[in-house]
């Protein structure tokens, strides 16, 4: 099984490909590539193509799409979700949406919301993610740092294995902040 993870909600957006050769195997990250900063709409497709080339597969061979749905960049959320919605519609494949905060992991996850605000999420034991986050600060709080697409893909695979999958009309952004009005 091939899983494509897309994370376009943070300043360090990325694309990852996971491979699960058998149901009993541990998923292997085949590629995790950063997206071009502040240019996700232009770099998402070329970066995805590079990841597919590294794996030696085509987009049609991807079995599951996992996408971060926010909170995060308003435009970034729309870029990732729109691409995944189009791919699953055309290819007839399932998708899973993953909270960016859940991908960060930890009992409490934090990320900058801009304008002096912070997004945070609390997760019960066992639901804080499947891989350690790369930056710990005080009292089991994790802050967003580094690439998250592989973690989005891991969590997406776990959710899919548990019976959760969405179609293009069910995928939606996790908007938590009103847009700034000038």
Please choose, from the candidates 179, 125, 177, 127, the residue with its C-alpha nearest in 3D space to the C-alpha of residue 155.
127
Helix 74-91, helix 40-55: angle, nearest 10: 50
Give residues with Cβ within 8 angstroms of 180, minimum separation 6. Answer: 115
DSSP 76: H
Residue with the two structure tokens 């909600």:
9
Mean pLDDT on 31-50: 94
Domains of the chain, by residue range, sit at 2-100+147-161
State pLDDT tens for residues 95-113. 999 999 999 887 888 787 7
Q: Which residue has the higher pLDDT, 48 or 102?
A: 48
What class has domain 2-100+147-161?
alpha beta
- pLDDT confidence of residue 95: 96
State pLDDT tens for residues 136-165. 444 444 555 589 999 999 999 999 999 988
Mean pLDDT on 63-88: 92
Percent of the chain with pLDDT over 90: 55
């Amino acid at each position: 099984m091939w899983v494509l993870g897309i994370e376009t909600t943070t300043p360090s957006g990325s694309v990852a490909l996971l491979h699960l050769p058998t149901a009993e195997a541990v998923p292997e990250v085949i590629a995790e590539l950063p997206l071009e900063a502040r240019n996700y709409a232009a770099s998402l497709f070329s970066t995805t193509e590079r990841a597919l080339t590294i794996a030696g597969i085509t987009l049609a061979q991807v079995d599951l799409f996992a996408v971060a749905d926010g909170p995060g960049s308003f435009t970034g959320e729309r870029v990732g979700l729109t691409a995944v919605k189009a791919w699953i519609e055309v290819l007839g494949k399932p998708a899973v949406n993953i909270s960016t905060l859940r991908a960060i992991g930890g009992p409490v996850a934090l990320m900058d919301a801009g304008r002096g605000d912070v997004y945070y999420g609390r997760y019960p034991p066992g639901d804080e993610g499947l891989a350690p986050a790369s930056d710990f600060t005080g009292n089991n709080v994790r802050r967003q740092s580094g690439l998250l697409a592989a973690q989005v893909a891991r969590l997406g695979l776990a959710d899919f294995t548990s019976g959760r999958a969405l179609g293009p009309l069910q995928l939606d952004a996790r908007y938590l902040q009103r847009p700034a009005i000038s």
